[in-house]
Amino acid sequence: SVTLGLETSCDETGVGIVADGILLGQALASSMDEHIRYGGVVPEVAARAHLESVNSVLRQALTNADLSLDQVDAIAVTSGPGLASSLHVGVSAAKAWALALGKPLYAVHHVAGHVAADTLEHGPLPERSIALIVSGGHSSLLMLKDLATDPIVHLGDTLDDAAGEAFDKVARLLELPYPGGPSIQRAAESGDPTAVDLPRPLLGKVSERHRYAFSFSGLKSAVARHVQLARRTGAPMRAEDVASSFQEAVVDVLVTKAVAACRDHGIDTLLIVGGVAANARLRAVAETRCGAAGITLRVPAPRLCTDNGAMIAAVGDLIVRSGAKPSGLDFGADSSAPLDRSLLV
Ligand code: ATP
Ligand code: MG
Ligand code: FE
């Protein structure tokens, strides 16, 4: 069966089409350029952009998949979490399509989509796996069984900022362009990762309760203090070195905790998903350390890590094939939907 997925939770309008775990086609539009001068996503601007592009992105995805709309069997849409005004546009559009076509509609969790994206590249998930989700709004270690039907178990979450948020804030401190993640990565390439001595928050001796928890706001503050001190005293400071040292600290914490979670639970598959999983240094360090620990590492291609429609089609396809009951048409957007299951309604 053919499932169409629609993603509009932030500034990307994405449509993907998946059949039995295979990506048939997708299309993506982004309002990123309109937000650059504000240094962050402006909800009102993002919502309007979704409204203007949603139908052309749908047509483009169908063209790329070489399908017509009546060949779609089910529709999945991100109903949360995300920016309320952005989510509303996608939920409304998906309801209209489902109603017009007489097809079942499924309200899905955006982050479950980030996880499912990996199945498009690496096939079905094993019986049990650990997922490190690192994105603009989330930093969690999850224990997964069947993504479509089983509850998602949180081993740990961030106590404050998400990893992507930290990249974005540190980029701003260093006056690197928005979005921060790719800017930091680029700057770090010509920097020295040992130049600035930065903390590894919640690593080493921590209480059991924080074994799999993250904290990135202190790290951001440490960078801020370093930058301020250098500016005040006129001490030499290369943004490249600060970016590289920051990136190294984040990557070290993320990979160390993810590998520990796998070891502790006797699970030999680790997924790293979400926008920050596009980070080249994170991918390289995870590859090395998982290799040494005998853990199979699964990270989707960078363009499947950041927001897209294919990931929503992927999680929708898993849910449809599980035989779950559709969500109907009487649901709304839930901007702070908790991540405890893939199907929200
Ligand atoms: P969420 O998925 O939690 O709702 P989101 O959808 O806004 O949040 P994503 O699109 O999954 O987030 O990821 C965007 C984040 O990923 C941004 O914070 C961005 O800076 C970060 N990011 C993107 N590419 C990279 C990279 N190469 N290195 C580090 N961070 C990156
Ligand atoms: Mg985005
Ligand atoms: Fe996302």
In this predicted model, what pLDDT tens digit does every residue of 88-137 receive, in sequence order?
A: 999 999 999 999 999 999 999 999 999 999 999 999 999 999 999 999 99
The C-alpha atoms of residue 179 and residue 136 are separated, in whole angstroms, by: 10
Check if 306 has its Cβ closer than 6 Å to any atom of ligand 1.
yes
The pLDDT value recorded for residue 48 is: 98
Which ligand is nearest the CA of 30, by number? 2
Q: Give φ, ψ of 134 to 5 degrees.
A: -130, 110
Check if 179 has its Cβ closer than 6 Å to any atom of ligand 1.
yes
Supply the residue whose CA is at minimum distance from atom 8 of ligand 1: 136
Nearest residue to 113 (alpha-carbon basis) of 96, 88, 131, 126: 131
Residues 232-239, mean pLDDT to the nearest whole number:
95
Check if 134 has its Cβ closer than 6 Å to any atom of ligand 1.
no
Check if 167 has its Cβ closer than 6 Å to any atom of ligand 1.
yes
Look up residue 280 and give its two tokens.
Answer: 């080249």
Supply the residue whose CA is at minimum distance from atom 12 of ligand 1: 136
Ligand 1 pocket: which of 7, 10, 114 to mutate (most atoms within 8 A of CB): 10
CA of 236 to the centre of ligand 3 (A): 37
CA of 269 to the centre of ligand 2 (A): 27
CA of 85 to the centre of ligand 2 (A): 15
CA of 233 to the centre of ligand 2 (A): 37
Which ligand is nearest the CA of 180, by number? 1
The pLDDT value recorded for residue 22 is: 98
Do the Cβ atoms of 173 and 224 come closer than 8 Å?
yes
Residues 159-183, mean pLDDT to the nearest whole number:
96
Check if 169 has its Cβ closer than 6 Å to any atom of ligand 1.
no
The pLDDT value recorded for residue 39 is: 85
pLDDT at 85 exceeding the cut of 90:
yes
pLDDT in tens, 329-339: 999 999 999 99
The C-alpha atoms of residue 240 and residue 260 are separated, in whole angstroms, by: 30
Q: Is 132 exposed, middle or buried (0-12, 13-18, 19+ CB in 10 A)?
A: buried
pLDDT in tens, 54-75: 999 999 999 999 999 999 999 9
pLDDT at 50 exceeding the cut of 90:
yes
pLDDT at 284 exceeding the cut of 90:
yes
ipTM of the complex: 0.98
The C-alpha atoms of residue 33 and residue 49 are separated, in whole angstroms, by: 11
CA of 94 to the centre of ligand 2 (A): 20
The pLDDT value recorded for residue 321 is: 98
Whether the upstream peptide bond of residue 126 has omega within 30° of 0, thus cis, is: no
Check if 276 has its Cβ closer than 6 Å to any atom of ligand 1.
yes
SS (H, E, C) 63-106: HHHCCCHHHCCEEEEEEECCCHHHHHHHHHHHHHHHHHHCCCEE
pLDDT at 15 exceeding the cut of 90:
yes
pTM: 0.97
30 forms beta bridges with: 12
**Nearest-atom index, ligand 1, CA of 9:** 6
CA of 305 to the centre of ligand 1 (A): 8
The C-alpha atoms of residue 30 and residue 291 are separated, in whole angstroms, by: 36
Which ligand is nearest the CA of 182, by number? 1
Q: Given the DSSP bridges, would you call strands 74-80 and 105-109 parallel, antiparallel or unpaired?
A: parallel
| Furthest C-alpha separation in the chain | 67
The rounded mean pLDDT for the chain is 97
